[in-house]
């Protein structure tokens, strides 16, 4: 009896191993996902259509709150962009990067007290809207010079607050303050000039935008699930370059 059970278990184990190491029915170039995120997690995550209304609502509330406090006007830069991503196996996945339009003010804040007040206002809204526990991304010391323009938060010309939604969403909502009067090296001014030339950005600003990745569109969900099933249980090959 036990020998028969063991034989069946061994047979099933061997069959499973054969499937794992055997190539799937279609080459990996057609894989609809990416190695970085499991198929099950992709299906649990919010689609672009589920997340974007939450992003729009949060950004609208932030704009209204900043205007009420500081009297700043906002301008919209660009439009929402949803772009297909490489599957890292020299093919194109069904997943996308999602970049919202960027909203910028036509003025900026100079005092540390006002910047902290703005960060507090935006943090409260991000939390209320379900964008995690926002944190300033600034780095102190010499490493902070190139990215933020100074050694300490008080002397840095670029402040970046990021709020990440729950695990079922990808990306982060970012609130940025750019104050070139605190640019110690000229790196912030140079980057600002590039943004003005390339995207029509304001030279100095408060901005709000969202960046997400590896997200499905609602219309692709069923197709993703169907195609991903072909590869379930198979060992993935070594991914190619991100640009493949």
pLDDT tens, the chain, 244 aa long:
444 434 434 544 554 544 555 678 789 999 999 999 999 999 999 999 999 999 999 999 999 999 999 999 999 999 999 999 999 999 999 999 999 999 999 999 999 999 999 999 999 999 999 999 999 999 999 999 999 999 999 999 999 999 998 877 889 999 999 999 999 889 999 999 999 999 999 999 999 999 999 999 999 999 999 999 999 988 888 886 544 3
Instruction: Answer yes or no: are the C-beta atoms of 125 and 62 closer than 8 Å.
Output: yes
The pLDDT of residue 19:
53
Whats the size of the chain, residue-wise?
A: 244
Q: DSSP for 9-75, please give it.
A: HHHHHHHHHHHHHSPPSS-GGG-SSBTTB-HHHHHHSPPHHHHHHHHHHHHHHHHHHHHHHH---EE
What the chain holds in terms of domains, given with CATH numbers, is: 39-220 (3.30.2030)
CA–CA distance, 59 with 102 (Å, rounded to integer): 10
The pLDDT of residue 124:
98
The pLDDT of residue 169:
84
Buried b / exposed e along 38-51 (16+ C-beta atoms within 10 A)? ebeebeebbbbeeb
CA 32 to chain centre: 19
The pLDDT of residue 244:
37
The pLDDT of residue 241:
54
Q: What phi, psi does 119 have (nearest 5°)?
A: -60, -40
The pLDDT of residue 13:
57
The pLDDT of residue 184:
86
């Amino acid at each position: 009896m036990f020998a028969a059970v063991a034989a069946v278990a061994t047979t099933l184990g061997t069959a499973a191993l054969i499937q794992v190491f055997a190539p799937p029915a279609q080459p990996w170039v057609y894989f609809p996902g990416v190695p970085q995120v499991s198929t099950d997690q992709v299906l649990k995550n919010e689609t672009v259509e589920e997340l974007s209304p939450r992003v729009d609502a949060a950004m609208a509330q932030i704009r209204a709150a900043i205007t009420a406090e500081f009297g700043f006007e906002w301008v919209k830069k660009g439009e929402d962009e949803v772009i297909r991503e490489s599957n890292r196996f020299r093919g194109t996945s069904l997943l996308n990067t999602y970049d919202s339009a960027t909203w910028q003010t036509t003025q900026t804040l100079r005092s540390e007290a006002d910047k902290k007040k703005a960060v507090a206002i935006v943090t409260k809204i991000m939390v209320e809207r379900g964008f995690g526990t926002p944190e300033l991304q600034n780095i102190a010391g010499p490493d902070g010079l190139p990215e933020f323009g100074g050694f300490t938060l008080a002397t840095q010309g670029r402040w970046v607050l990021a709020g990440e939604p729950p695990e079922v969403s990808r990306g982060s909502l970012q609130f940025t303050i750019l104050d070139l009067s605190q640019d110690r090296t000229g790196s912030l001014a140079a980057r600002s000039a590039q943004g003005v030339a390339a995207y029509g950005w304001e030279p100095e600003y408060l901005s709000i935008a969202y960046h997400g990745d590896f997200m499905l569109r609602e219309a692709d969900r069923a197709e993703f699930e169907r195609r991903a099933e072909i590869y379930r249980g198979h060992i993935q090959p070594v991914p190619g370059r991100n640009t493949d």
